[in-house]
Structure 1
Amino acid sequence: MCFNHNIHRVLKRKGNWLLIAVPFILSLSGCKKLFEVPAEKEYISNNISYGSKFYEPVLGRTALMGTLNADNSTQPLTFSIVNARFGDGRPMTDLFKTKEVWVWTAAYDGKEKSLEEINSKRKKELKPLFEVRTSGQLILWSSATDDLVEARKADSTNFPQNRRYFDVKVSNVGGEVIVKDLELKLWRERPYEPSSDFNPYTGKIAKNPVDFLDPFNKLDYIRPSRLSNIIGKSIRKELSSGDVAVYIRPFSGGNGHSLRFKFLDKDAVAINPAKFNETKWDQLIHGFNREMTKEYVQYDVAYPIPLVNIATPYASGGKANVNFSYSRLGFGGARQVGTIGLDFNIYREGDWEIVFQFRNDNPKFEDE
């Protein structure tokens, strides 16, 4: 009995109802020591792991990697990359150089009305090229580029001295665990997508896989994502995506944040973009200060394109979506709308142009 005899006599005189209440009173006040629960200790599991130990990011693009299984370890956990090394034991230091990178400070929603408004929602911060976040996710920043980091070799060999390994130290008050032997295999920069015209090993122009021994006449190229109801002027039949080559390339003379669209006929002569008379030019891309000439249409834009992986009027599925349309009267007086479009990404800041060249026949814009 943990309450004293005097208290017991008082309670007894007050009636049986008090005796019934005694257990509840004791549970709240007396007998405290009997009901004390030991403080919970910090716990860290030896089975902490990542869903995969092998990662293949592309340089020049911000990549989030790694799903952590904390196995009920007590939060919060802290993380650090340790023992970064090549397969022959040499320390791997190039990925921990620091460079400025864009970091969002407010949410981008695609409704911003100017470059200034976009840039007011982000800032440049000095960060290591590769790091682990407070969530345990691994991040390779877009600032990790070919000029700072060596990618995988151009040939198919995979010598141990070229392989990149690292460990992640996970800790809390209860202790620490090392997740060992995670591996990075880096692809060289591909500054845009689609990149079927780009050799990912050498960075040079890709040969046509159908006839790769003839690099001069059989080069691979990007094809439009959409092509419909565009009639060839000479063949009088509908053109297919194989009749159009798309080039995504830098151009000189811009302001450092420009995007230009051009159309070329089969003789590489510019087609006036105004001929695509059904195009919604002000809704084409999240760009500003549109400039239209007889040879191109150009916008001021923020890079990368798209800026984030959310659906907006200009992007979906992680890619920007552009469509160029024109209408003409077809046979029988029916109005026909021809469309050509591309889903794409551009990861590197600069002045870029996207060129659609009709290879075999020119589109017919005139009415029948």
Structure 2
Amino acid sequence: MKDKHHLRVMAKCIGLFALAAMSTLAGCKKLYDLPEERDYISNNVNFSNKIFEPIIGRTSMMGGFNADNSTFPMTFEITNARWGDGRPVTDLFRTVPTYVWVGEYTGLEKSLAEIESKRKIEQRPLFEIRRSGEFVLWPSATNEFIQPRAEDSTNLVQNTRFFDVKVRNTGGERLIRDLQIRPFRERPYEPSNDFNAYTGKPAPDPKFPLDPKLRDYIRPFLNSVVGATTNQFLVSNNDKKDVIVYIRPFSGGTGNSLRIKVLNKDSVAMNPSLFNETQWDKMIHGFNMQKTAEHVQWDVAYPIPLVEIKTPYAPEGSRARAELKYSRVGFGGLRVTASFGLDFAIYKKGDWEIVFFFKGENPKLINE
């Protein structure tokens, strides 16, 4: 009992001492007019990358802000945006409607309405900096709003946009100078190797870049696909293009449509039912699937994929996957499964089709 009494007395004394110390410190601060405690801001705050090269028409997140142990929260402000010859830059900061997510997209949504309920349209500058120090170029930017870099691929100073960033917290402010943004023109889909990034015209053939009659094409992946006449594995690369892909608009859709079709060597549409192992209902995060003798079509929300996260429809996160499979009985009675497809993204709303064209010879689909 005596020990417990001593412990209570000691605890009470410690509490009184702490209270007295706090009162003394507060009194000293008031008496001697000591300054309020402030945040720390380093002289070395900076960005790891100061040249940004986004593609217009997509959500592009850029930055690499290095706080150098400075105290958050901070505020960031883009200042003195100018061309290299001193003209003010204004196009980047035009305020336009853009989609902003207000709910979590999971890939499990059951309708377009459910997807649209998770995002809304807000008025945002085309280019802005967030509270984290991260820059964003919104997908509502288009070639009409923002002048892309020169078609001849030059980076002349007078055609380059420069800007500074003012960083602040309660400890002070720092100015980070001479960041650059050099936007590429819109490329509405990926892969886009068929598209010249500077001119927007068809890309030249990588093997014969000076021959104006030849061009590059999107190439699919091919697994165990053999030709109907040669019985040889079909390939698609720089040297030989047995199969190529077009991603292109089509007319007559809903304005939010995606279509997949296959053309034989005579440019005639092949019946999707020929690809008998294809899981059409699990391929695209789309709705109201329509399967005809010439194509399969869905109502979809754009962009595709909507968010760069892994879902059943986007196994790598940044690309969706269109994969067509079929099986047949090969030599010796063994069943052979083959597939072809494309990992892709489409950034621009509209009616788009992905066309697989067997330009050299048709795939072998019949049994041996």
Aligned partner (choices 115, 118, 122) of residue 118 of structure 1? 115
Aligned position for 1:90: 87
Kindly indicate whether residue 17 of structure 2 is the aligned counterpart of residue 27 of structure 1.
yes
Q: Deviations over 1:101-145 (max 9, x none)?
A: 111000000000011111111111111100011111100001111
Give 1:288 shift.
Answer: 0.5
Q: Residue 76 of structure 1: SS of its match in structure 2?
A: coil
* Distance in 2 between residues matched to 1:199 and 1:238, nearest whole Å: 30
1:316 alignment partner, SS class: coil
Q: Within 1, Cα distance between the matches of 2:102 and 2:189? A: 25
In the alignment, what sits opposite 1:281?
Answer: 280
Question: Quick check: 1:151 aligned with 2:148?
Answer: yes
Q: Hey, what's the Cα distance between the residues in 2 that align with 1:210 and 1:312? A: 36
Q: Quick one: structure 1 residues 188 and 31, their matched pair in 2 at CA, closer, same or farther if it must change by over 3 Å?
A: closer
Give the drift of 1:323. 1.0
Identity among equivalent pairs (%): 55
Q: Within 2, Cα distance between the matches of 1:139 and 1:33?
A: 48
- Alpha-carbon distance in structure 2 between the residues aligned to 1:114 and 1:362: 36
Shift of 1:282: 0.4
The one-letter amino acid paired with 2:363 is: P
Equivalent position amino acid for 1:350 in 2: G
C-alpha separation in 2, matches of 1:259 and 1:153: 32
Normalised by the length of structure 1, the TM-score is: 0.91
The answer to which of 42-51 and 159-168 deviates more is 42-51
Superposed displacement of residue 32, structure 1:
4.7
Q: CA separation in 2, counterparts of 1:257 and 1:169?
A: 41
Residue 24 of structure 1: how far off its partner (Å): 3.3
Instruction: State the SS of the aligned residue for 1:161.
Output: helix
The residue number in structure 1 matching 2:333 is: 333
Shift of the 44–253 alpha-carbon distance from structure 1 to 2, 3 Å rule, reads: same
CA drift of 1:46 comes to 2.2
Q: Give the superposition deviation at 1:42.
A: 3.0
User: AA paired with 1:77?
Assistant: M
2:215 is matched with 219
SS of 1:332's equivalent? helix
Equivalent residue number for residue 10 of structure 1: none
Q: What RMSD over aligned residues (CA atoms) do the two structures have, in Å? A: 2.0
C-alpha distance after superposition, 1:73-121 (max 9, x if no partner): 3322111111111101100001111111111000000000011111111
**Please, which of 204, 229, 235 is the counterpart of residue 230 of structure 2?**
235
Alpha-carbon distance in 1 for matches of 2:266, 2:300: 30
Determine if the alignment matches structure 1 residue 290 to structure 2 residue 289: yes
TM-aligned CA distance change 1:334 to 1:188, over 3 Å: same
Amino acid aligned to 1:108: Y
TM-score (norm 2): 0.91
Larger Rg: 1
Q: Partners in 1 of 2:21 and 2:102 — Cα distance?
A: 53
Counterpart of 2:306 in structure 1 is 307
Residues 195-220 of structure 1, C-alpha deviations (whole Å, 9 max, x = no match)? 1110001000111021122222x211
Equivalent in the alignment of 1:359: 359
Q: Which runs of 4+ in 1 moved over 6 A?
A: 16-23
**Residue correspondence of structure 1 range 232-271 to structure 2 within 5 A:** 232-241=227-236, 242-271=241-270
Q: Where does structure 2 lack aligned partners over 5 or more consecutive residues? A: 1-5
The one of 167, 172, 175 aligned to 2:172? 175
Q: For 2:250 and 2:211, how far apart are their aligned partners in 1?
A: 28
Query: Any stretches of 5+ residues in structure 1 without a counterpart?
Result: 1-15
Contact 2:39 2:169 in 1 (8 A): yes
- The DSSP-based 3-state class of the residue aligned with 2:246 is strand
> How has the CA–CA distance of structure 1 residues 342 and 26 changed in structure 2, closer, same or farther, with 3 Å as cutoff?
same
Q: Does structure 1 residue 140 correspond to structure 2 residue 137?
A: yes
Secondary structure at the counterpart of residue 28 of structure 1:
helix
Tell me which amino acid in the other structure corresponds to 1:311: K
Does residue 70 of the first structure (1) align with residue 67 of the second (2)?
yes
Conserved? CA contact 2:153–2:198, under 8 Å: no
Given residue 171 of structure 1, which amino acid in structure 2 is its aligned partner? R
Aligned residues: 351
Change beyond 3 A, Cα 1:35–1:316:
same
Does the CA contact (< 8 Å) of 2:93 and 2:125 recur in 1?
yes
